[in-house]
Structure 1
Amino acid sequence: MPRRDFVKLTTLSAASIPILGFTNPVKAAVQSEDKLSINIFSKHLQFLDYNETGAMAKEMGFDGVDLTVRPGGHVIPEQVKQDLPAAINAIRQAGSKCNMITTSIESVDNPLDVDILNSASQMGIKFYRTNWFKYTTDENMKASLLKYQEEIKKLGDLNKKLELVGCYQNHAGTHVGASFWEVKKLLETVDPDYFGTQYDIRHAMVEGGYSWENGLKLLHPNIKVIVLKDYKWGRVNGKWEAINVPIGEGMVDFDGYFKLLKSYKLNPPVSLHLEYDLGGAEKGNTEISVDKKVVFDAMKKDLKTLQNLWNNA
């Protein structure tokens, strides 16, 4: 048998053998190119309880929920041991899924952060996003990056024990990780199977201008989860600002971005964010000033637009 055929045959045979125990969530996250696996960011549904959040996610056609587990979120850290299991069970009983959470986690030395990770592991969560690190005036940027790099490494070590994958989000502004090189530096020493980046194309294009493709080229091996949202530049009170808009109505080059993701053979889980005006739902308010249907319709529209953009890329 030719060597090429032998390798192909043995690879297929190995793939058919059931794998016992933990399946690496990084590899398990690979999807077919036919469809994006899109989760709704629960920040925008915090006017609903856990069961309603799961029910609406399913009804609107989302693959799951990216649950906020942080101060002001659906689940607050101080009550995570009780409330996270209740939330996950309610979402699943309503017919949806919850494989990712967005957190305020920063350090294994914080007992509340460890409680969140332990609870997430027990409930079968695969991915979590950390808090954003901040630069301080008492140390230079290089020293800060090295300090936070060590925090990431320790989180990755704990993730391995708990069978979790942590993610650091690139974010426009002055926090750590606005530039692609900062994110790459943070991830230098951590086990890449258990910690990577939650890549946000909106923030990447705001910060990267024409160079965002270089940033994607740099970080694509580290991408575990992606965030999708749109923006355009405009004047607000006389100042230029990045204004959030519905998917497809702004400056994000989704066609170019999706083509590049496909060329890198990437189709990671998606967290859909709606940061434009939705009566307070965009801010995570528990009470909103518009009819719920306005929010749900916006979510369904963005979801449909994204799937069409992906299919056409």
Structure 2
Amino acid sequence: MPTRREFITKTVCAASLLPFSAYAFNNSIFEQQDDVLNVNIFSKHLQFLDYKSTGEIVAEMGFSGVDLTVRPNGHVLPESVKTDLPKAVKAITASGVNCSMITTSIESVNNPLDVDILKTAGSENIQYYRTNWYKYKENMSMQDSLLFYQNEVKQLGDLNEKLGLIGCYQNHAGTSVGASYWEIQKILETVNPKHFGTQYDIRHAMVEGGKSWENGFQLLQKNIKVIVLKDFKWGQVNGKWEPINVPIGEGMVDFDKYFKLLKKHNLKPPVSLHLEYDLGGAEKGDYEITVDKKVVFDAMKRDLKKVQQLWKNA
């Protein structure tokens, strides 16, 4: 055993080397982490894999975790949520990645299956979930429909508070509730903002908002809980102009301006990365795909790398 004097001497010498060894290395890692987003892959694009394989490949590709589909035709079916969600979470997290968010078809606390999903998610330490998209009711005005869904969201938020969950409503291009930022603001008006907000999708925001997407961001930025990242460009399909999905950085989404706005407001929410361009059916959530799995994995790695690069440079 060394004497006390020898121990102190060796400790001081070792400490003097820290800036050039472990300390410098760890400090470098911490600096990098400040410039890295928490990116989860949307499991819709990996539904050709089982839970264990999903966790393993997600870890290998360098993602933080999985945004798991818990909905009809998803990775976990709602009717099997009590048994299959715990299995999925255990298998995925065994690979060292997290499973803290799920994408669901949840609409109302009055649906027993929706409540089962929420209770199971709470027991599995899921933090975030995305709801279904609401449709305007044919027998109601648009204003009355929004008030109806405002109440549904309020009740979901109350249950979320009891279960330790955060619900999210995604802005989405089209004619469902939430294509407009103002619709989302309206349905969030009465809910507890700590337990229900928005999953902000910049692709859909730019499709619907054009040059005014920044106004929509400013309107909703205090409600953002999770963000979705994907890209698009306008093009002609069978003679009609439509938004065409493309890899990150190859389309019209102004990621530099968007990321600068997030940083300006000190927002660094967890990310769900979507790949909705042609990947042999993986983009649509097919259980069997027509391309080699490596094609899908390589695309995911490229988009992940591009996201982190764009975030760092913003």
TM over 0.5: same fold? yes
Contact (CA 8 Å) 1:81, 1:115: kept in 2 or not?
Answer: yes
Structure 1 residues 136-147: aligned runs within 5 Å: 136-147=137-148
Tell me which residue corresponds to 2:162. 161
**CA offset digits 1:111-151 (Å, max 9, x no partner):** 00000000000000000000000012211100000000000
Q: What is the CA–CA distance in structure 2 between the aligned matches of 1:54 and 1:117, rounded to whole Å?
A: 22
> 1:99: which partner in 2?
100
Match of 2:271 in 1: 270
Are 2:210 and 1:205 equivalent residues in the alignment? no
Q: What displacement does 1:33 show?
A: 4.2
The match for 1:81 is 82
Q: Secondary structure at the match of 2:99?
A: coil
Q: Deviations over 1:263-308 (max 9, x none)?
A: 0100000000000000000000000000000000000000000000
In structure 2, the gaps of 5 or more residues are: 1-31
Given that 1:231 and 1:244 are in contact with CA atoms closer than 8 Å, whether structure 2 keeps it comes out as yes
Amino acid at match of 2:243: A
Aligned AA (2:61):
M
Aligned-residue offset at 1:193: 0.2
The whole-number CA distance in structure 1 between the counterparts of 2:98 and 2:56 is 10
Give 1:239's aligned residue. Answer: 240
Gaps of 5+ in 1: 1-30
Could you tell me whether the CA contact under 8 Å between 1:33 and 1:262 is conserved in 2? no
- Write the deviation string for residues 134-177 of structure 1: whole angstroms up to 9, x where unpaired: 01221110000000000000000000000000000000000000
Computing the radius of gyration from Cα coordinates, the structure with the larger value is 2
Aligned residue identity for 1:215: G
Q: In the aligned structure 2, how far is the partner of 1:143 from the partner of 1:98? A: 36
Question: Could you say which residue in structure 2 is the equivalent of 1:310?
Answer: 311
Q: SS state of the match for residue 100, structure 1?
A: strand
TM-score by length of 2: 0.89
Aligned to 1:116: 117
Structure 1 counterpart of 2:78, one-letter code: P
Instruction: Tell me what 2:45 maps to.
Output: 44
Report the alpha carbon displacement of residue 95 of structure 1 after superposing the two structures with TM.
2.1
Aligned 8 A contact 1:52 1:94 in 2: no
Corresponding residue number in structure 2 for 1:17? none
Kept after mapping to 2: 8 A contact 1:54/1:96: yes
User: Counterpart in 1 of 2:297?
Assistant: 296
Q: C-alpha offsets along residues 74-105 of structure 1, whole Å, 9 cap, x if unaligned?
A: 00000000000000000011222100000000
Whole-angstrom CA distance in 2 between matches of 1:189 and 1:135:
19
The RMSD of aligned alpha carbons is 0.9
1:5-36 CA-to-partner distances (Å, cap 9, x unmatched) read: xxxxxxxxxxxxxxxxxxxxxxxxxx974110
CA distance in 2, matches of 1:154, 1:33: 36
Partner of 1:284: 285
Distance 1:133 1:168 in 2: 9
Paired positions, count? 283
Question: Could you tell me how far apart the structure 1 residues matched to 2:221 and 2:210 are?
Answer: 18
Structure-1-length-normalised TM-score: 0.90
Please report how far the alpha carbon of residue 221 of structure 1 lies from its aligned counterpart in structure 2 after TM superposition. 0.1
SS, match of residue 116 in structure 1? helix
Amino acid at match of 2:131: T
- Structure 1 moving runs of 4+ over 6 Å: none
After superposition, residues 17-32 of structure 1 pair within 5 angstroms as none
What's 2:4 paired with? none
Q: What is the rounded CA distance, in whole Å, between the counterparts of 1:33 and 1:197 in structure 2?
A: 24
| Identity fraction in percent | 72
**Counterpart of 1:167 in 2: which secondary structure?**
strand
Distance 2:137 2:185 in 1: 20
Amino acid at match of 2:168: C
